[in-house]
């Protein structure tokens, strides 16, 4: 579609975004982090200049959240944006009132430039597009000779209508929206970390070794890691615990799917669906091979285009329901919150987000050391995981709201037992 000159005066939240403002709080923040680590110390003054310069290129993020009679909506935000030092808290609650109305933060610390974003604004793919542009502009402001090579959105191009698009509404099929009820999932219990802090443990491996390992099982990397995650939960939390097996719920791993890889969307807003691997594990002798077979079968089914459309259409059908559409916002807000508290939080054991390979121009790569992502962990989904690859490095980042680290230890031990090198980092929140 054509370019958009200037900022739209207002626009509605996309289909996925509507739930988050109504259910978010200090324990369930619905924020995520994307970050790039440079090879030199970040200059805050130059970073502020870069953000000020590039923010107008992303008008769908230069917004504040407002309430209408039927739904919330985004309105143009002309307030100044201020970068901040990176806090110790990971993916904490984002309060727009303390951020000039903005729904994201740009942080810096040592060599790191990071963005934490509220999920109503965008998903990981959209946030990384923004972060890449910020880092690109920062390097330009520092006097480096780099070129975008059609991989970076710069001020040399205008925002397009496609970038604003609610792609759920574009690609759903109202005839294919069958609802499939779900059972509650097994929850990972533990000792809560005080003050809603989030623990972080990441492991960096060689990308080629990860790909080779997945190929041994005839799996994609995401499939393999989902199977390994289920195995790690089984071994540490279920296998020899008789009181759990008597009334055990299925272990469910929620895996976001970037729908831009399946539909011709260029939206910078949310356009993600979810695939779930699930398995009853009320036996002491489950093997890793059994889990592998289950995960492969569920991925084969869940990644069919017809199934992706069905899930998308089911969500859009809820939003477009004539009764719900005509219900005043204050009632919608109440119903969404109650429904989410009663069921939504308990449908998944944890999430596993594979952002994939971050693509940067060749001229930028010598300045970049590492790339990573993290997602919040809350009261029920106490452990979550995000994965990014760049420059031959494969970075797996766990976040958790509990002190115990048994799942992460088992997960990374798997690689070391296979002779693979793993570089471990932690924020050591369990020692606070």
The two three-digit tokens of residue 379, written as one number = 């009261």
Residues 205 and 329 occupy one common structural domain: yes
- Is residue 162 located within the same domain as residue 269? no
Does 164 fall in a domain?
yes
pLDDT of the chain along its 432 residues, tens only?
Answer: 566 655 567 899 998 998 899 889 999 999 999 999 999 999 999 999 999 999 999 999 999 999 887 788 999 999 999 999 999 999 999 999 999 999 999 999 999 999 999 999 999 999 999 999 999 999 999 999 999 999 999 999 999 999 999 999 999 887 766 777 788 999 999 999 998 899 999 999 999 999 999 999 999 999 999 999 999 999 998 776 655 555 678 999 999 999 999 999 999 999 999 999 999 988 888 999 999 999 999 999 999 999 999 999 988 887 776 666 677 777 777 777 776 766 666 899 999 999 999 999 999 999 999 999 999 999 889 999 999 999 999 999 999 999 999 999 999 999 999 999 999 999 976 554
Handedness of CA 31, 36, 40, 45 (dihedral sign): negative
Cα–Cα separations (whole angstroms), residue 113 to 51, 136, 158, 370:
11, 11, 24, 11
Helices (H), 66-113: none
Residues 164 and 198 in one domain: no
129 and 262 in a single domain? The answer is no
Evaluate whether residue 1 is within a structural domain: no
Q: In a 3-state reduction of DSSP, which class is residue 340?
A: helix
Residue 216 lies in a domain: yes
Q: How far apart are CA 369 and CA 148, in angstroms?
A: 18
CA 41 from chain center: how many Å? 27
Calpha distance 364→159 (Å, rounded): 23
| Domain assignment of residue 275, yes or no | yes
- Residue 142, judged by CB atoms within 10 A of its CB (0-12, 13-18, 19+), counts as middle
21 and 116 housed in the same domain: yes
Q: Does 226 share its domain with 138?
A: no
In a domain, 224, yes or no: yes
pLDDT at 432: 43
Provide the residue count of the chain: 432
Domain termination residue (choose one: 150, 168, 186): 168
The predicted model scores a pTM of 0.94
Structure tokens at 94: 């984002």
161 in a structural domain: yes
Residue 260 contacts residue 357 (beta carbons within 8 Å): no
Exposure of 327 in the CB half-sphere (CA atoms within 13 A): 15
Residues 157 and 275 grouped into a single domain? no
Q: Among 108, 134, 168, give the residue marking a domain's end.
A: 168
- What pLDDT does 380 receive? 86
Encoding tokens for residue 264?
């011709």
DSSP symbol at 65 = E
Bridge partners, residue 205, by sequence: 394
Q: Please give the tally of structural domains in the chain.
A: 2
In a domain, 151, yes or no: yes
Angle, helices 305-320/288-302, rounded to nearest 10 degrees? 60
Label each residue of 213-266 as H, E or C: HHHHCCCCHHHHHHHHHHHHHHHHHHCCCHHHHCCCCCEEEEEEEEHHHCCCCC
- 38 and 115 co-located in one domain: yes
From 168, 186, 203, give the residue that closes a domain: 168
By residue range, what is the domain housing residue 73? 10-168
Domain membership of residue 257 (yes or no) is: yes
Are residues 150 and 267 located together in one domain of the fold? no
Q: CATH no. for residue 411?
A: 3.30.559.30
DSSP SS3 for 378: coil
CATH of the domain at 93: 3.30.559.10
Asked whether residue 136 falls in the same domain as residue 203, the answer is no
Specify whether 240 is located in the same domain as 389: yes
Say yes or no: 285 and 157 in one domain: no
């Amino acid at each position: 579609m054509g370019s958009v000159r200037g900022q739209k005066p207002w626009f509605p939240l996309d289909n996925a975004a509507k739930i988050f403002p109504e259910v978010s709080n200090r324990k369930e923040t619905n924020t995520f982090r994307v970050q790039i680590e440079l090879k030199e110390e970040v200059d805050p003054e130059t970073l502020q200049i870069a953000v000020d310069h590039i923010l107008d290129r992303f008008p769908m993020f230069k917004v504040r959240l407002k309430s209408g009679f039927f739904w919330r909506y985004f309105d143009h935000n002309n307030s100044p944006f201020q970068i901040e030092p990176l806090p110790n808290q990971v993916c904490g609650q984002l309060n727009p009132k303390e951020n000039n109305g903005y729904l994201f933060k740009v942080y810096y610390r040592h060599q790191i430039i990071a963005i934490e974003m509220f999920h109503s604004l965008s998903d990981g793919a959209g946030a990384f597009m923004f972060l890449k542009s910020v880092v690109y502009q920062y390097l330009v402001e520092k006097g480096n000779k780099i070129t975008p090579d059609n991989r970076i959105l710069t001020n040399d191009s205008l925002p397009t209508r496609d970038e604003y698009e609610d792609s759920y509404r574009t690609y759903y099929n109202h005839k294919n929206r069958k609802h499939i009820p779900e059972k509650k999932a097994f929850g990972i219990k533990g000792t809560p970390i005080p003050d809603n802090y989030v623990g972080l443990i990441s492991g960096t491996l060689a990308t080629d070794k990860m790909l080779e390992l997945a190929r041994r099982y005839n799996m994609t990397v995401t499939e393999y890691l989902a199977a390994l995650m289920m195995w790690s939960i089984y071994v540490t939390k279920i296998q020899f615990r008789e009181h759990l097996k008597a009334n055990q719920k299925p272990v469910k791993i929620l895996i976001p799917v970037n729908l831009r890889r399946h539909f011709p969307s260029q939206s910078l807003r949310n356009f993600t669906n979810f695939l779930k691997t699930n398995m009853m594990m009320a036996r002491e002798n489950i093997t890793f091979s059994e889990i592998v077979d289950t995960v492969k079968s569920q991925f084969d089914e869940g990644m069919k285009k017809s199934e992706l459309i069905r899930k998308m259409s089911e969500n859009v059908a809820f939003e477009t329901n004539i009764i719900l559409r005509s219900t005043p916002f204050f009632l919608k807000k109440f119903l969404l919150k109650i429904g989410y508290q009663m069921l939504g939080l308990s449908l998944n054991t944890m999430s596993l987000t594979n952002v994939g390979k971050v693509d940067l121009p060749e001229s930028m790569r010598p300045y970049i050391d590492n790339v990573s992502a993290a997602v919040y962990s809350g009261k029920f989904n106490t452990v979550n995981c995000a994965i990014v690859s760049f420059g031959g490095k494969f970075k797996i980042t766990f976040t958790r709201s509990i002190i115990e680290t048994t799942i992460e230890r088992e997960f990374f031990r798997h690689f070391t037992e296979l002779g693979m090198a793993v570089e471990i980092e932690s924020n050591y929140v369990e020692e606070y």
